[in-house]
């Protein structure tokens, strides 16, 4: 029987080949990811149509973010960060329906994050998300959201005004949201896009 770690390694290799243009490997990757999502969400989202819509949204998000995946990093945290983001979108769209999914989705990025190595892997998934930002946006958002620094602390540390820090944080979050949402770009390198 193939272990979880081996499955994620195979998926990482398939993504690497897909990024190089191998359509067959990409098809196999998407099929396996669909299976993982279907198994995971089958008990979380009871309505079959809603579940299929959510799975499709996650796979579309994955496709749009394909260029952000770095083959030297673990695949699972990158994949689950997209799944988690799309699940949040799903909750917003459906309102009170399947509201319990909100608590359950916390398991997405934390499935295997019990060891320092797993925590490192999750951090690498976050780095994929941050890769759509320019260096200044990445620095400010990291300080604000990951390090928990106040606007005043960031302002003092960077020399930017407090209002400018707030604007940068807001625009950075919006930029990531646009990139990873359905209305985002398809296949464009995030580091060469308009800010």
Which of the pair, 161 or 47, is modelled with greater confidence? 161
Rounded to whole angstroms, how far apart are CA atoms 97 and 95? 6
Residues 88, 138 share a domain: no
Q: Label residue 127 by pLDDT band (50, 70, 90).
A: low
Residues 130, 88 share a domain: no
Structure token pair of residue 61: 């998000």
What's the Cα-to-Cα distance from 95 to each of 59, 90, 91, 99, rounded to whole Å?
22, 8, 6, 7
Task: Give yes or no for a contact between 80 and 62, defined as CB atoms under 8 angstroms apart.
Answer: no
**pLDDT higher than threshold 50 for residue 176:** yes
Domain range for 164 is 118-184
**pLDDT higher than threshold 50 for residue 107:** no
Residues 79, 136 share a domain: no
Indicate if the alpha-carbon torsion angle 132, 137, 143, 144 is positive or negative. Answer: negative
Average pLDDT, whole number, for the chain? 75
Residues 90, 122 share a domain: no
- Which CATH number covers residue 127? 1.10.10.10
Structure token pair of residue 26: 């990409």
Residues 77, 37 share a domain: yes
**pLDDT higher than threshold 50 for residue 145:** yes
pTM score over 0.75: no
pLDDT tens digit sequence for 64-91: 888 888 888 888 888 888 888 787 777 6
């Amino acid at each position: 029987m193939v272990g979880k770690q081996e499955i994620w390694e195979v998926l990482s290799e398939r993504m690497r080949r897909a990024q190089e243009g191998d359509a067959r490997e990409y098809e196999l990757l998407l099929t396996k990811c669909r299976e993982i999502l279907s198994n995971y969400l089958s008990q979380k989202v009871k309505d079959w149509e809603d579940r299929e819509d959510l799975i499709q949204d996650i796979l579309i998000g994955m496709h749009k973010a394909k260029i952000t995946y770095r083959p030297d990093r673990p695949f699972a945290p990158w994949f689950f960060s997209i799944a988690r983001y799309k699940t949040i979108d799903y909750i917003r769209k459906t309102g009170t329906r399947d509201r319990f999914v909100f608590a359950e989705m916390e398991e997405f990025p934390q499935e295997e994050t019990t060891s320092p190595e797993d925590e490192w892997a999750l951090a690498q998934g976050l780095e994929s998300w941050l890769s759509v930002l320019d260096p200044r946006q990445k620095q400010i958002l990291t300080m604000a959201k990951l390090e928990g620094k106040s606007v005043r602390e960031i302002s003092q540390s960077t020399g930017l005004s407090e209002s400018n820090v707030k604007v940068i944080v807001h625009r950075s979050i919006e930029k990531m949201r646009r990139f990873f949402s359905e209305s985002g770009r398809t296949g464009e390198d995030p580091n060469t896009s308009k800010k």
